[in-house]
Protein backbone atom coordinates (compact mmCIF):
# COMPACT_ATOMS: atom_id res chain seq x y z
CA UNK A 1 0.00 0.00 0.00
CA UNK A 2 2.72 2.43 0.97
CA UNK A 3 4.82 1.26 -1.94
CA UNK A 4 1.92 1.92 -4.26
CA UNK A 5 1.44 5.42 -2.95
CA UNK A 6 5.12 6.24 -3.26
CA UNK A 7 5.01 5.03 -6.84
CA UNK A 8 1.99 7.25 -7.46
CA UNK A 9 3.99 10.27 -6.35
CA UNK A 10 6.76 9.60 -8.82
CA UNK A 11 4.76 9.41 -12.07
CA UNK A 12 3.83 12.89 -13.27
CA UNK A 13 0.13 13.58 -13.18
CA UNK A 14 0.25 14.72 -16.81
CA UNK A 15 1.17 11.15 -17.84
CA UNK A 16 -1.57 9.66 -15.68
CA UNK A 17 -3.95 12.03 -17.43
CA UNK A 18 -3.09 10.62 -20.84
CA UNK A 19 -3.51 6.95 -19.89
CA UNK A 20 -7.35 6.98 -19.89
CA UNK A 21 -7.21 8.53 -23.37
CA UNK A 22 -4.96 5.69 -24.54
CA UNK A 23 -7.27 3.21 -22.84
CA UNK A 24 -10.33 4.58 -24.65
CA UNK A 25 -8.59 4.56 -28.04
CA UNK A 26 -7.29 1.02 -27.51
CA UNK A 27 -10.77 -0.13 -26.48
CA UNK A 28 -12.15 1.29 -29.74
CA UNK A 29 -9.47 -0.55 -31.70
CA UNK A 30 -10.32 -3.79 -29.88
CA UNK A 31 -14.04 -3.22 -30.57
CA UNK A 32 -13.15 -2.86 -34.26
CA UNK A 33 -11.39 -6.24 -34.18
CA UNK A 34 -7.78 -5.06 -34.16
CA UNK A 35 -5.24 -7.20 -32.26
CA UNK A 36 -2.04 -5.14 -32.33
CA UNK A 37 -1.12 -1.50 -32.73
CA UNK A 38 1.95 0.73 -32.86
CA UNK A 39 2.80 3.93 -31.05
CA UNK A 40 2.42 5.66 -34.46
CA UNK A 41 -1.09 4.33 -35.00
CA UNK A 42 -2.20 4.99 -31.43
CA UNK A 43 -0.68 8.46 -31.70
CA UNK A 44 -2.76 9.27 -34.78
CA UNK A 45 -5.92 8.25 -32.91
CA UNK A 46 -5.27 10.40 -29.87
CA UNK A 47 -3.30 13.29 -31.37
CA UNK A 48 -0.14 12.63 -29.34
CA UNK A 49 3.30 11.93 -30.81
CA UNK A 50 4.52 8.32 -31.09
CA UNK A 51 7.64 9.22 -29.09
CA UNK A 52 5.54 10.63 -26.25
CA UNK A 53 3.33 7.54 -26.19
CA UNK A 54 6.36 5.19 -26.04
CA UNK A 55 7.82 7.29 -23.24
CA UNK A 56 4.54 7.36 -21.30
CA UNK A 57 3.95 3.63 -21.57
CA UNK A 58 7.56 2.73 -20.76
CA UNK A 59 7.12 4.38 -17.32
CA UNK A 60 5.18 1.29 -16.30
CA UNK A 61 7.38 -1.42 -17.77
CA UNK A 62 8.18 -2.97 -21.13
CA UNK A 63 4.91 -3.57 -22.94
CA UNK A 64 5.87 -3.44 -26.61
CA UNK A 65 8.14 -5.63 -28.69
CA UNK A 66 10.49 -4.09 -31.24
CA UNK A 67 8.96 -4.56 -34.70
CA UNK A 68 5.68 -6.21 -33.66
CA UNK A 69 4.17 -3.31 -31.71
CA UNK A 70 1.80 -3.59 -28.79
CA UNK A 71 -0.71 -6.34 -28.15
CA UNK A 72 -3.94 -4.37 -27.69
CA UNK A 73 -5.48 -6.89 -25.27
CA UNK A 74 -2.33 -6.95 -23.12
CA UNK A 75 -2.00 -3.18 -23.10
CA UNK A 76 -5.70 -2.82 -22.21
CA UNK A 77 -5.26 -5.17 -19.27
CA UNK A 78 -2.15 -3.35 -18.08
CA UNK A 79 -3.66 0.13 -18.39
CA UNK A 80 -6.81 -0.98 -16.53
CA UNK A 81 -4.64 -2.43 -13.79
CA UNK A 82 -2.50 0.72 -13.54
CA UNK A 83 -5.53 3.01 -13.48
CA UNK A 84 -7.28 0.58 -11.07
CA UNK A 85 -10.33 0.25 -13.30
CA UNK A 86 -9.91 -3.52 -13.46
CA UNK A 87 -12.50 -3.38 -10.64
CA UNK A 88 -15.85 -1.61 -10.18
CA UNK A 89 -15.95 1.71 -8.31
CA UNK A 90 -19.11 2.90 -6.60
CA UNK A 91 -20.00 6.50 -7.42
CA UNK A 92 -22.41 8.90 -5.73
CA UNK A 93 -24.21 11.47 -7.87
CA UNK A 94 -25.33 14.75 -6.29
CA UNK A 95 -27.78 16.93 -8.22
CA UNK A 96 -30.86 15.47 -9.89
CA UNK A 97 -31.34 18.18 -12.53
CA UNK A 98 -30.93 17.80 -16.31
CA UNK A 99 -27.26 16.90 -16.07
CA UNK A 100 -27.87 14.49 -13.20
CA UNK A 101 -30.55 12.72 -15.22
CA UNK A 102 -28.23 12.54 -18.21
CA UNK A 103 -25.46 10.96 -16.11
CA UNK A 104 -27.82 8.54 -14.35
CA UNK A 105 -28.89 7.29 -17.79
CA UNK A 106 -25.38 7.35 -19.30
CA UNK A 107 -24.39 4.00 -20.77
CA UNK A 108 -20.64 4.56 -20.74
CA UNK A 109 -19.84 3.88 -17.07
CA UNK A 110 -20.53 0.18 -16.49
CA UNK A 111 -17.86 -1.23 -18.80
CA UNK A 112 -15.26 1.40 -17.83
CA UNK A 113 -15.07 0.64 -14.11
CA UNK A 114 -17.88 2.74 -12.58
CA UNK A 115 -21.25 2.18 -11.05
CA UNK A 116 -23.58 4.90 -9.74
CA UNK A 117 -25.04 3.68 -6.45
CA UNK A 118 -26.91 6.70 -5.00
CA UNK A 119 -28.38 9.99 -6.21
CA UNK A 120 -29.00 12.94 -3.86
CA UNK A 121 -30.68 16.31 -4.18
CA UNK A 122 -31.65 18.96 -1.62
CA UNK A 123 -34.84 19.89 -3.52
CA UNK A 124 -37.77 18.26 -1.66
CA UNK A 125 -39.69 18.13 -4.96
CA UNK A 126 -37.01 15.88 -6.44
CA UNK A 127 -36.46 13.67 -3.38
CA UNK A 128 -38.33 10.40 -3.91
CA UNK A 129 -38.40 10.76 -7.71
CA UNK A 130 -37.27 7.76 -9.74
CA UNK A 131 -34.40 8.18 -12.20
CA UNK A 132 -33.64 5.00 -14.07
CA UNK A 133 -33.46 2.40 -11.24
CA UNK A 134 -32.65 5.00 -8.59
CA UNK A 135 -34.76 6.91 -6.11
CA UNK A 136 -33.46 10.42 -5.45
CA UNK A 137 -32.48 10.73 -1.77
CA UNK A 138 -32.39 13.76 0.50
CA UNK A 139 -28.95 15.40 0.90
CA UNK A 140 -29.71 15.61 4.63
CA UNK A 141 -28.90 11.89 4.81
CA UNK A 142 -25.96 12.10 2.43
CA UNK A 143 -23.01 12.14 4.84
CA UNK A 144 -24.35 9.18 6.82
CA UNK A 145 -25.30 7.14 3.72
CA UNK A 146 -22.07 7.76 1.80
CA UNK A 147 -19.90 7.04 4.84
CA UNK A 148 -21.75 3.80 5.58
CA UNK A 149 -21.41 2.63 1.96
CA UNK A 150 -17.72 3.62 1.82
CA UNK A 151 -18.11 5.45 -1.50
CA UNK A 152 -14.93 7.26 -2.57
CA UNK A 153 -16.00 8.96 -5.82
CA UNK A 154 -18.63 11.65 -6.38
CA UNK A 155 -20.04 13.43 -9.43
CA UNK A 156 -21.45 16.90 -8.77
CA UNK A 157 -24.13 18.39 -10.99
CA UNK A 158 -25.34 20.94 -8.47
CA UNK A 159 -25.54 24.72 -9.02
CA UNK A 160 -22.23 26.59 -8.64
CA UNK A 161 -23.42 28.23 -5.41
CA UNK A 162 -23.94 24.82 -3.74
CA UNK A 163 -20.87 23.00 -5.05
CA UNK A 164 -18.38 23.85 -2.29
CA UNK A 165 -20.69 23.02 0.62
CA UNK A 166 -21.70 19.71 -1.00
CA UNK A 167 -18.01 18.96 -1.56
CA UNK A 168 -17.19 19.69 2.08
CA UNK A 169 -19.92 17.30 3.23
CA UNK A 170 -18.78 14.56 0.88
CA UNK A 171 -15.17 14.92 2.03
CA UNK A 172 -16.44 14.56 5.59
CA UNK A 173 -18.12 11.33 4.43
CA UNK A 174 -14.82 10.04 3.04
CA UNK A 175 -15.05 10.91 -0.67
CA UNK A 176 -11.59 11.30 -2.23
CA UNK A 177 -12.31 12.05 -5.90
CA UNK A 178 -14.74 14.55 -7.43
CA UNK A 179 -15.96 15.00 -10.98
CA UNK A 180 -17.35 18.52 -10.98
CA UNK A 181 -19.83 19.77 -13.60
CA UNK A 182 -20.57 22.98 -11.69
CA UNK A 183 -18.83 25.95 -13.35
CA UNK A 184 -16.80 26.74 -10.24
CA UNK A 185 -13.37 25.87 -8.87
CA UNK A 186 -13.43 23.74 -5.70
CA UNK A 187 -11.15 24.10 -2.69
CA UNK A 188 -9.87 20.83 -1.31
CA UNK A 189 -6.77 19.39 0.35
CA UNK A 190 -3.99 17.86 -1.77
CA UNK A 191 -4.99 14.28 -0.99
CA UNK A 192 -8.41 14.81 -2.62
CA UNK A 193 -8.63 14.79 -6.42
CA UNK A 194 -10.91 16.83 -8.63
CA UNK A 195 -11.61 16.87 -12.34
CA UNK A 196 -13.74 19.44 -14.13
CA UNK A 197 -16.04 18.83 -17.07
CA UNK A 198 -16.15 22.07 -18.91
CA UNK A 199 -17.59 22.18 -22.44
CA UNK A 200 -16.26 25.70 -23.13
CA UNK A 201 -12.66 24.48 -22.73
CA UNK A 202 -13.26 21.77 -25.33
CA UNK A 203 -14.83 24.25 -27.74
CA UNK A 204 -11.91 26.65 -27.29
CA UNK A 205 -9.55 23.88 -28.27
CA UNK A 206 -11.17 23.75 -31.71
CA UNK A 207 -11.75 27.40 -32.57
CA UNK A 208 -8.01 27.85 -33.08
CA UNK A 209 -8.38 25.75 -36.25
CA UNK A 210 -11.45 27.50 -37.64
CA UNK B 1 -5.43 33.49 -44.19
CA UNK B 2 -2.97 31.08 -45.70
CA UNK B 3 -0.29 32.33 -43.34
CA UNK B 4 -2.57 31.65 -40.41
CA UNK B 5 -3.30 28.11 -41.57
CA UNK B 6 0.35 27.36 -42.14
CA UNK B 7 1.08 28.60 -38.66
CA UNK B 8 -1.70 26.38 -37.30
CA UNK B 9 -0.04 23.33 -38.82
CA UNK B 10 3.25 24.04 -37.09
CA UNK B 11 2.09 24.28 -33.48
CA UNK B 12 1.49 20.79 -32.07
CA UNK B 13 -2.14 20.09 -31.23
CA UNK B 14 -1.11 18.99 -27.74
CA UNK B 15 0.02 22.56 -26.99
CA UNK B 16 -3.17 24.03 -28.44
CA UNK B 17 -5.05 21.65 -26.13
CA UNK B 18 -3.37 23.10 -23.04
CA UNK B 19 -4.04 26.76 -23.89
CA UNK B 20 -7.77 26.71 -22.94
CA UNK B 21 -6.76 25.19 -19.60
CA UNK B 22 -4.30 28.04 -19.02
CA UNK B 23 -6.99 30.50 -20.12
CA UNK B 24 -9.49 29.12 -17.61
CA UNK B 25 -6.97 29.19 -14.74
CA UNK B 26 -5.87 32.74 -15.61
CA UNK B 27 -9.50 33.86 -15.78
CA UNK B 28 -10.02 32.46 -12.26
CA UNK B 29 -6.95 34.33 -11.03
CA UNK B 30 -8.25 37.54 -12.61
CA UNK B 31 -11.68 36.97 -11.03
CA UNK B 32 -9.89 36.66 -7.68
CA UNK B 33 -8.26 40.04 -8.22
CA UNK B 34 -4.73 38.89 -9.12
CA UNK B 35 -2.76 41.02 -11.58
CA UNK B 36 0.38 38.98 -12.27
CA UNK B 37 1.40 35.34 -12.10
CA UNK B 38 4.41 33.12 -12.70
CA UNK B 39 4.80 29.90 -14.64
CA UNK B 40 5.29 28.22 -11.22
CA UNK B 41 2.00 29.52 -9.86
CA UNK B 42 0.06 28.82 -13.04
CA UNK B 43 1.60 25.37 -13.12
CA UNK B 44 0.36 24.58 -9.63
CA UNK B 45 -3.17 25.57 -10.65
CA UNK B 46 -3.26 23.39 -13.74
CA UNK B 47 -0.98 20.50 -12.76
CA UNK B 48 1.58 21.17 -15.50
CA UNK B 49 5.28 21.91 -14.93
CA UNK B 50 6.49 25.51 -14.98
CA UNK B 51 9.04 24.62 -17.68
CA UNK B 52 6.32 23.17 -19.91
CA UNK B 53 4.16 26.26 -19.45
CA UNK B 54 7.02 28.61 -20.36
CA UNK B 55 7.76 26.50 -23.42
CA UNK B 56 4.11 26.40 -24.50
CA UNK B 57 3.58 30.14 -24.11
CA UNK B 58 6.87 31.04 -25.79
CA UNK B 59 5.61 29.36 -29.00
CA UNK B 60 3.46 32.41 -29.54
CA UNK B 61 5.94 35.14 -28.67
CA UNK B 62 7.52 36.73 -25.63
CA UNK B 63 4.78 37.36 -23.08
CA UNK B 64 6.61 37.27 -19.76
CA UNK B 65 9.30 39.49 -18.33
CA UNK B 66 12.23 38.01 -16.43
CA UNK B 67 11.60 38.50 -12.73
CA UNK B 68 8.17 40.11 -12.94
CA UNK B 69 6.25 37.17 -14.39
CA UNK B 70 3.24 37.40 -16.65
CA UNK B 71 0.63 40.13 -16.67
CA UNK B 72 -2.60 38.15 -16.30
CA UNK B 73 -4.71 40.63 -18.30
CA UNK B 74 -2.19 40.70 -21.14
CA UNK B 75 -1.85 36.91 -21.23
CA UNK B 76 -5.66 36.51 -21.17
CA UNK B 77 -5.96 38.86 -24.16
CA UNK B 78 -3.23 37.05 -26.05
CA UNK B 79 -4.60 33.57 -25.35
CA UNK B 80 -8.11 34.66 -26.39
CA UNK B 81 -6.69 36.09 -29.59
CA UNK B 82 -4.65 32.96 -30.35
CA UNK B 83 -7.61 30.66 -29.64
CA UNK B 84 -9.90 33.05 -31.55
CA UNK B 85 -12.30 33.38 -28.64
CA UNK B 86 -11.88 37.16 -28.62
CA UNK B 87 -15.09 37.00 -30.70
CA UNK B 88 -18.44 35.21 -30.32
CA UNK B 89 -18.98 31.88 -32.10
CA UNK B 90 -22.46 30.67 -32.97
CA UNK B 91 -23.10 27.07 -31.93
CA UNK B 92 -25.84 24.65 -32.97
CA UNK B 93 -27.05 22.08 -30.44
CA UNK B 94 -28.50 18.80 -31.67
CA UNK B 95 -30.39 16.62 -29.21
CA UNK B 96 -32.97 18.08 -26.84
CA UNK B 97 -32.77 15.38 -24.15
CA UNK B 98 -31.47 15.78 -20.60
CA UNK B 99 -27.96 16.70 -21.72
CA UNK B 100 -29.27 19.09 -24.37
CA UNK B 101 -31.37 20.85 -21.74
CA UNK B 102 -28.39 21.06 -19.42
CA UNK B 103 -26.22 22.64 -22.14
CA UNK B 104 -28.97 25.04 -23.27
CA UNK B 105 -29.15 26.29 -19.68
CA UNK B 106 -25.38 26.26 -19.09
CA UNK B 107 -24.10 29.64 -17.92
CA UNK B 108 -20.46 29.10 -18.87
CA UNK B 109 -20.58 29.76 -22.62
CA UNK B 110 -21.42 33.44 -23.04
CA UNK B 111 -18.27 34.88 -21.45
CA UNK B 112 -15.98 32.27 -23.04
CA UNK B 113 -16.72 32.99 -26.70
CA UNK B 114 -19.80 30.87 -27.47
CA UNK B 115 -23.45 31.40 -28.12
CA UNK B 116 -26.01 28.67 -28.81
CA UNK B 117 -28.25 29.87 -31.65
CA UNK B 118 -30.39 26.82 -32.59
CA UNK B 119 -31.50 23.54 -31.04
CA UNK B 120 -32.66 20.57 -33.13
CA UNK B 121 -34.21 17.20 -32.41
CA UNK B 122 -35.74 14.54 -34.63
CA UNK B 123 -38.37 13.61 -32.02
CA UNK B 124 -41.66 15.19 -33.11
CA UNK B 125 -42.71 15.35 -29.45
CA UNK B 126 -39.77 17.61 -28.69
CA UNK B 127 -40.01 19.82 -31.79
CA UNK B 128 -41.71 23.07 -30.84
CA UNK B 129 -40.83 22.73 -27.12
CA UNK B 130 -39.26 25.75 -25.45
CA UNK B 131 -35.86 25.35 -23.76
CA UNK B 132 -34.70 28.56 -22.16
CA UNK B 133 -35.23 31.14 -24.93
CA UNK B 134 -35.07 28.52 -27.70
CA UNK B 135 -37.73 26.60 -29.59
CA UNK B 136 -36.61 23.08 -30.52
CA UNK B 137 -36.56 22.75 -34.32
CA UNK B 138 -37.01 19.69 -36.53
CA UNK B 139 -33.75 18.10 -37.76
CA UNK B 140 -35.42 17.86 -41.19
CA UNK B 141 -34.71 21.57 -41.59
CA UNK B 142 -31.26 21.39 -39.99
CA UNK B 143 -29.00 21.36 -43.06
CA UNK B 144 -30.80 24.28 -44.66
CA UNK B 145 -30.97 26.35 -41.45
CA UNK B 146 -27.35 25.75 -40.36
CA UNK B 147 -26.00 26.46 -43.84
CA UNK B 148 -28.00 29.69 -44.12
CA UNK B 149 -26.79 30.88 -40.72
CA UNK B 150 -23.17 29.92 -41.47
CA UNK B 151 -22.74 28.10 -38.14
CA UNK B 152 -19.37 26.31 -37.87
CA UNK B 153 -19.61 24.63 -34.45
CA UNK B 154 -22.01 21.91 -33.25
CA UNK B 155 -22.62 20.16 -29.94
CA UNK B 156 -24.12 16.68 -30.22
CA UNK B 157 -26.16 15.20 -27.40
CA UNK B 158 -27.94 12.62 -29.54
CA UNK B 159 -27.98 8.84 -28.93
CA UNK B 160 -24.86 6.99 -30.12
CA UNK B 161 -26.80 5.34 -32.95
CA UNK B 162 -27.74 8.72 -34.45
CA UNK B 163 -24.44 10.56 -33.93
CA UNK B 164 -22.71 9.70 -37.22
CA UNK B 165 -25.66 10.51 -39.47
CA UNK B 166 -26.26 13.82 -37.68
CA UNK B 167 -22.54 14.58 -38.04
CA UNK B 168 -22.64 13.85 -41.78
CA UNK B 169 -25.59 16.22 -42.24
CA UNK B 170 -23.92 18.97 -40.24
CA UNK B 171 -20.69 18.62 -42.24
CA UNK B 172 -22.80 18.95 -45.39
CA UNK B 173 -24.17 22.19 -43.87
CA UNK B 174 -20.63 23.49 -43.34
CA UNK B 175 -19.94 22.65 -39.67
CA UNK B 176 -16.20 22.27 -39.01
CA UNK B 177 -16.00 21.54 -35.27
CA UNK B 178 -17.96 19.05 -33.16
CA UNK B 179 -18.27 18.62 -29.44
CA UNK B 180 -19.60 15.09 -29.08
CA UNK B 181 -21.35 13.84 -25.93
CA UNK B 182 -22.52 10.63 -27.58
CA UNK B 183 -20.42 7.66 -26.39
CA UNK B 184 -19.20 6.86 -29.91
CA UNK B 185 -16.21 7.75 -32.06
CA UNK B 186 -17.07 9.85 -35.13
CA UNK B 187 -15.59 9.49 -38.61
CA UNK B 188 -14.70 12.75 -40.26
CA UNK B 189 -12.11 14.20 -42.66
CA UNK B 190 -8.91 15.75 -41.28
CA UNK B 191 -10.09 19.31 -41.82
CA UNK B 192 -12.99 18.80 -39.40
CA UNK B 193 -12.28 18.84 -35.65
CA UNK B 194 -13.92 16.79 -32.96
CA UNK B 195 -13.70 16.77 -29.17
CA UNK B 196 -15.31 14.21 -26.91
CA UNK B 197 -16.83 14.83 -23.50
CA UNK B 198 -16.47 11.59 -21.70
CA UNK B 199 -17.00 11.47 -17.92
CA UNK B 200 -15.53 7.95 -17.61
CA UNK B 201 -12.14 9.18 -18.87
CA UNK B 202 -12.10 11.88 -16.19
CA UNK B 203 -13.03 9.38 -13.48
CA UNK B 204 -10.28 7.01 -14.65
CA UNK B 205 -7.77 9.79 -14.27
CA UNK B 206 -8.51 9.88 -10.54
CA UNK B 207 -8.85 6.21 -9.58
CA UNK B 208 -5.10 5.80 -10.00
CA UNK B 209 -4.67 7.87 -6.84
CA UNK B 210 -7.30 6.09 -4.74
**A106 Cβ contact list (under 8 Å, min separation 6):** B183, B199
Mean pLDDT, chain A, integer? 89
Distances (CA, A) of B83 to A11, B8, B75, B128: 30, 11, 12, 35
* Beta-carbon separation of B179 and A202 below 8 A: yes
Q: Does B174 touch chain A (CB under 8 A)?
A: no
Q: Does A9 touch chain B (CB under 8 A)?
A: no
Q: Across residues B16-39, what is the average pLDDT? A: 92
Is residue B124's pLDDT more than 80? yes
Beta bridge partners of A210: none
Q: Does A50 touch chain B (CB under 8 A)?
A: no
* Beta-carbon separation of A114 and B176 below 8 A: no
Q: Does A8 touch chain B (CB under 8 A)?
A: yes
pTM of the model as a whole: 0.81
Instruction: Let me know if B174 is exposed, middle or buried by CB neighbors in 10 A (0-12, 13-18, 19+).
Output: middle
Bigger pLDDT: A119 or B184? A119
Cα angle B8, B9, B10 (rounded to 5 degrees) comes to 95
Beta bridge partners of B157: none
B116 — phi, psi (to 5°)? -70, 130
* Beta-carbon separation of A153 and B8 below 8 A: no
What confidence tens digit (pLDDT) does each residue in B178-190 have?
999 987 778 889 8
Could you give the ipTM of this predicted complex?
A: 0.90
A92 CA: distance to closest CA in chain B (Å)? 12
Q: Does A198 touch chain B (CB under 8 A)?
A: yes
Q: Does B152 touch chain A (CB under 8 A)?
A: yes
Chain A residue with the nearest C-alpha to that of B208: A83
* Beta-carbon separation of B205 and A20 below 8 A: yes
* Beta-carbon separation of B28 and A103 below 8 A: no
So what's the pLDDT on residue A3? 38
What secondary structure does DSSP assign to B148-190, as a single string?
A: HHT--EEEE-S-HHHHHHHHHHHHHTT--EEEE-SSSPPP--T
Cα angle A142, A148, A152 (rounded to 5 degrees) comes to 75
* Beta-carbon separation of B205 and A14 below 8 A: no
**A114 Cβ contact list (under 8 Å, min separation 6):** A85, A88, A89, A91, A153, B200, B203
Q: Does A17 touch chain B (CB under 8 A)?
A: yes
A45 CA: distance to closest CA in chain B (Å)? 10
Q: What is the dihedral of CA A105, A107, A113, A117, to 10 degrees?
A: 20
Which among B179, B193, B210 has CB closest to A177?
B210
Bridge-based pairing of strands B177-180 and B153-156 is parallel
Contacts of A108 in chain B (CB under 8 A): 183, 198-200
CB A17 within 8 A of CB B204: no
Is residue A57's pLDDT more than 90? no
Interhelix angle A72-82/A13-31, rounded to 10 degrees, is 140
Q: Across residues B76-99, what is the average pLDDT? A: 95
DSSP A187: P
CB A204 within 8 A of CB A181: no
A52 CA: distance to closest CA in chain B (Å)? 11
Contacts of A170 in chain B (CB under 8 A): none
Contacts of B7 in chain A (CB under 8 A): none
Q: Across residues A159-182, what is the average pLDDT? A: 95
Q: Across residues B153-178, what is the average pLDDT? A: 96
Q: Does A84 touch chain B (CB under 8 A)?
A: yes
Confidence band for A182, pLDDT divided at 50, 70 and 90: confident
CB A198 within 8 A of CB B21: no
CB A129 within 8 A of CB A150: no
Is residue A4's pLDDT more than 60? no
Q: Across residues B134-151, what is the average pLDDT? A: 97
Q: Does A7 touch chain B (CB under 8 A)?
A: no
Contacts of B115 in chain A (CB under 8 A): none
CB A28 within 8 A of CB A91: no
Q: Does A185 touch chain B (CB under 8 A)?
A: yes
Q: Does A19 touch chain B (CB under 8 A)?
A: yes
Confidence band for B66, pLDDT divided at 50, 70 and 90: low
Task: Select from B92, B88, B89, B113 the least CA-distant residue to B104.
Answer: B92
Contacts of B198 in chain A (CB under 8 A): 24, 108
Q: Does A83 touch chain B (CB under 8 A)?
A: yes
A171 — phi, psi (to 5°)? -65, -40
Amino acid sequence: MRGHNMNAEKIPDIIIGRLPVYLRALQRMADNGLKTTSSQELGEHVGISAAQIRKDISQFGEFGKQGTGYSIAYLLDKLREILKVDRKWDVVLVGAGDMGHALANYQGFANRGFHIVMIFDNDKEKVGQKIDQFTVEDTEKMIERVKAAGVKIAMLTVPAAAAQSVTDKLMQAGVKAFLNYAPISLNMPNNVKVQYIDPATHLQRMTYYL
